[in-house]
Structure 1
Amino acid sequence: MDIEKYREIIKSIVEKHSEGDSDDREVETQIAFDLERDRYLMFHVGWRGEKRVFGCVIHIEIKSEKIWIQRDGTEEGIANELIEAGVPKSDIVLGYRSPYMRKFTKLAVG
């Protein structure tokens, strides 16, 4: 599949998750796309009372023509959404898993 198509699929998935994630008025959901380096992030920023909230929910990269999921804090699973969108399993790497454990998935190892 074309890398441009991968970019569009990833952007649409991240945007979809950011739109449905606005229950807390004090915590903002933000997305950041680095199109030059193919990095796509969704994170939370804000406050809950006196406690600072900051955390990455989704972090995806395209490296060596494969989609690397570095962080997946979704219930659906980013890999599942990518597969539904037509991305072959052989082009998806679970970067948050150790290289040893990746060989036990039905996805790419790296």
Structure 2
Amino acid sequence: MDKIIKYRKIVRDFMQEIADMHANQEGVETEFLIDKTERHFQLVNVGFLRRVRVYGTFIHIDLADDGKVWIQQDGSDLVVAQELEDRGIPKEDIVLGFHEPSVRKYTGYAVA
């Protein structure tokens, strides 16, 4: 199976599980956004929590042409990189895009 197809399924399934876990938040909806090419995935919270506006992307993952999985945002209680690794994506194919490039070499994950 092509690496991008395999990783797309892993990321899609993971993101759907997280969206489903957040589905019962009172006043806040979790939207699971995927582009037409299924290479860009976001989980966004939208709504109000105790009269305070909630809006923002808390997980954002991109699949690059070279097969790398870029975690652009991890604002969850999970360690998204570890979750993806546990599901079959090797560390050398995961980029922690939320770290500046000079720091990535110390993360144990791909630099780019």
TM-score using structure 1 length: 0.92
- The structure-2 alpha-carbon separation of the partners of 1:31 and 1:51, relative to structure 1 and needing over 3 Å to count, comes to same
Distance 1:18 1:49 in 2: 21
Provide runs of 4+ in structure 1 moved above 2 Å: 48-51
The residue type equivalent to 2:61 in the other structure is I
Using the TM superposition, give the Cα deviation of residue 37 of structure 1 relative to its aligned residue in structure 2, in angstroms.
Answer: 5.9
Q: 2:46 touches 2:56 (CA, 8 Å); kept in 1? A: yes
Using the TM superposition, give the Cα deviation of residue 74 of structure 1 relative to its aligned residue in structure 2, in angstroms.
Answer: 2.0
Runs of 5+ unmatched residues, structure 1: none
Aligned residues: CA RMSD: 1.5
What are the within-5 Å matches in structure 2 for residues 1-110 of structure 1?
A: 2-36=3-37, 38-63=39-64, 64-110=66-112
1:4 is paired with a residue of what secondary structure? helix
Equivalenced residues, count: 110
Runs of 5+ unmatched residues, structure 2: none
Using the TM superposition, give the Cα deviation of residue 11 of structure 1 relative to its aligned residue in structure 2, in angstroms.
Answer: 0.5
2:109 is paired with a residue of what secondary structure? coil
Using the TM superposition, give the Cα deviation of residue 23 of structure 1 relative to its aligned residue in structure 2, in angstroms.
Answer: 4.3
Distance 1:37 1:14 in 2: 12
Using the TM superposition, give the Cα deviation of residue 22 of structure 1 relative to its aligned residue in structure 2, in angstroms.
Answer: 3.4
